[in-house]
Amino acid sequence: MSYLVLARKWRPKRFTELAGQEHVVRALVNALESGRVHHAFLFTGTRGVGKTTIARIFAKSLNCEIGVTSNPCGQCSTCREIDEGRFVDLLEVDAASRTKVDDTRELLDNVQYAPARGRYKVYLIDEVHMLSTHSFNALLKTLEEPPPHVKFLLATTDPQKLPVTVLSRCLQFNLKRMSQSIITARINEILTAEKITFDADAVRLIARSAQGSMRDALSLLDQAIAFSGNALNATDTRTMLGTIDRSHIVALVTALAHRDAREVLRQIASLDEHAPDYRDVLAELAGLLQKIALVQAVPDLLKNDETDEAETIKPLVELLTPEDVQLFYQIAIIGRRDLDLAPEPRAGIEMVLLRMLAFRQLEEGMSQSHPSVSVAVSPRNPASTVSASSGTQQTPVSSMHQDWLSIMRAANLSGIAAQLAAHCSLQARLPGKLQLVLDKDGEHLRRPTVEDKLRQALSTALAEDVKLEFVSEAGQSVIDTPAKREQAAAADRLQMAAQAINEDPNVKSMVDVFGAVVQPESIKPI
């Protein structure tokens, strides 16, 4: 009793059957149809994305008995023999097992001879990056000037290890990881054709676990069918994959949203009974938070989604603020990175989750103790970015200064004319004339057009035609301008904000417990 695994049974035999990789297929089809076929192609990409499959279809396209075509017939003896792996003019080499230079020379000794049956002799070298330096040197000359009847198809998962001299002699195509939607659609198609009942959630779990590899997805599918007994369901698939039930992750996020530390620890204890990989738990947690953040940013994402996952996310979107989601996500991915440093995995994840609650409570405590204080805490570096504002006491003002402010308000100034006026102090108000002292910071604003605009506005406000006489600040006693008062008030507010932050008990706790440092330049009055 022989059984052909799904990855081999459902391997595409034509370009039209390929799932994904449209950018590569388009280039190869155009080359075949135009007759501009290069002598060497390099296909790169992670495992199971179609490198050797595309190379074999390309070999069929070159040698199909109906002629060079982008759509080989699949029925002639050449196409059948290539599909079965026994075509004499298709030489498939696993470079990982033939790394010696003698192996390469032996392979290339027959390059000069014409193909035995086909139109072209095709060399398909898989994992070509495994060849030794001497082997690459032996290959170079042939790659540069091959006989017209020879085509080289090279495949590798690590193109960085190839010499640039080899790369420069090949047309390079980088195959992308398969998207989860493409893998899901392909699995659905295969299961329907195989007449196997399945749950959509089970397929989604397999597609996600494949991590962009179609071959891995079909291998997992074979395993899931064997485990479930020809009827795929999410429970058995999750058990087979060793993944965490999404309900546990949802319960954890819900407990975090309600700030229920006891429930958080209870959920971890429940999870621990299944002996999970806690790095995977944090990955699942971060994945759920990422989806919540997406829906919070773009609510329409769930509009047409009727899956169970959509129903799960909706209440969490309302429970958590976007700030909480971002905070929890950052702590989760950093905690996943640092989990190996914990004395024990369960203790590590408990501390990660309690850290989420601690930073959230810290932020809320800051806001309650100082309503005008805004705090942003980075768990990667506990140094806080803190903003605060406070009132500023008004000092008594001179009547002349008050008069100037009244005139400015009546003139309804704007733009650069308002800036020029703000840098002035009213020295004297005479019939038909205003004497203004201009501080040195406003001298660059003084231009004829600006002065004229200011004069017209002041004349309208005073209901008389006035001239402006500007006096330089040099030689004057200390002058008082609106701009200087605003600068002094801003400095005052900043000083009081810094004082409020430094004296805040929550900030002091962060400094004492986490070694946080308040960045003075980050303090801004609100």
The CATH number covering residue 44 comes to: 3.40.50.300
Residues 446 and 338 occupy one common structural domain: no
Q: Return the bridge partners of 152, or none.
A: 40, 123
DSSP letter (8 states) at residue 522: G
Confidence of residue 307 (pLDDT cuts 50, 70, 90): low
Residue 383 is predicted with a pLDDT of 37
Amino acid at 414: S
For residues 328 and 443, state if they share a domain.
no
Residue 485 lies in a domain: no
Q: Which of 63, 70, 78, 36 is nearest to 119 (CA)?
A: 63
The answer to whether position 511 is within a domain reads no
**Residue 459, C-beta contacts closer than 8 angstroms, at least 6 positions apart:** 465, 466
Predicted local confidence at residue 103, as pLDDT: 73
Q: Domain end: 131, 158, 174, which one?
A: 174
Query: Residue 211 has what pLDDT?
Result: 87
CATH code for position 446: 3.30.300.150
CB-based burial label for 269 (10 Å; 0-12, 13-18, 19+):
exposed
pLDDT at residue 252 above 80? yes
10 and 190 Cβ atoms separated by less than 8 Å = yes
Torsion of CA 127, 129, 131, 132, to 10 degrees: -160
361 and 433 part of one domain: no
Q: What confidence tier does 361 reach under pLDDT thresholds 50, 70, 90?
A: low
42 and 142 part of one domain: yes
The verdict on 204 and 156 lying in the same domain is no
Q: How does DSSP classify residue 372?
A: T
CATH number assigned to the domain comprising residue 277: 1.20.272.10
Average pLDDT over residues 493-516: 83
Stretch 458-462: mean pLDDT: 91
Q: Are 217 and 206 in contact (CB under 8 A)?
A: yes
> Are 215 and 269 found together in one domain?
no
Average model confidence (pLDDT) for the chain?
Answer: 85
User: Between the ranges 169-173, 473-477, 487-491, where is the mean pLDDT highest?
Assistant: 169-173
- Count of domains observed in the chain: 4
Asked whether residue 134 is assigned to any structural domain, the reply reads yes
- Asked if 29 and 169 sit in the same domain, the reply is yes
Residue 155 shares a structural domain with residue 86: yes
337 vs 526, more confident: 337
Query: Does some domain include residue 45?
Result: yes
**Within a domain: residue 54?**
yes
**How confident is the model over 123-158, as pLDDT tens digits?**
999 999 988 888 888 888 888 888 899 999 999 999
Tell me: pLDDT of 384 over 60. Answer: no
Task: State yes or no: pLDDT of 277 exceeds 90.
Answer: no
Residues 132 and 34 in one domain: yes
In a domain, 424, yes or no: yes
What's the pLDDT score for residue 362? 58
Q: Is residue 200 part of a domain?
A: yes
Asked if pLDDT for residue 380 goes beyond 50, the answer is no
Asked, for residue 498, whether it belongs to a domain, the answer is: no
What is the reported pLDDT for 378?
45
What is the reported pLDDT for 304?
Answer: 58
Q: Render pLDDT for 69-82 as a digit per residue (tens, 0 to 9).
A: 999 998 999 999 99
**Are the C-beta atoms of residues 130 and 18 closer than 8 Å to each other?**
no
Q: What are phi and psi of 446, to 5 degrees?
A: -80, 105
Same-domain pairing of 167 and 78:
yes
Supply the range of the domain harboring residue 355: 246-369
Same domain flag for 348 and 260: yes
Question: What's residue 359's pLDDT?
Answer: 79
Q: Torsions phi, psi of 174, nearest 5?
A: -100, 115
> Which pLDDT value is given to residue 172?
93
User: Which residue from 393, 383, 373, 378 is spatially nearest to 503, judged by alpha carbons?
Assistant: 373
**Which of 478, 497, 512 is the endpoint of a domain?**
478
Q: Which pLDDT score is estimated for 64?
A: 94
Whether residue 113 has pLDDT greater than 50:
yes
Q: pTM of the prediction? A: 0.60
- Residue 311, pLDDT > 80, answer no
- Give the β-pairing of 171-174 and 384-387: unpaired
Closest CA to 467 of 476, 475, 458: 458
Give the pLDDT score at 385. 39
Write down the pLDDT at residue 72. 93
d(CA 192, CA 387): 59
Evaluate whether 188 touches 161 at the Cβ level (below 8 Å): no
Q: What is the pLDDT of residue 414?
A: 86
Nearest to 264 by CA among 285, 280, 245: 285
Of 143, 174, 205, the residue that ends a domain is: 174
Check whether residue 56 and residue 156 sit in a common domain.
Answer: yes
Average of pLDDT values for 180-191?
Answer: 92
What confidence tens digit (pLDDT) does each residue in 190-222 have? 999 999 999 888 998 899 889 899 999 999 999
Q: Is the pLDDT of residue 345 over 70?
A: yes
Query: 520 in helix, strand or coil?
Result: helix
Length of the chain as a residue count: 526
In the predicted structure, residue 321 carries a pLDDT above the cut 70: yes
Residue 21 is encoded by which pair of tokens?
């990789």
**Selection from 175, 185, 183 nearest residue 219 by Cα:** 183
Could you tell me what percent of the chain has a pLDDT over 70? Answer: 90
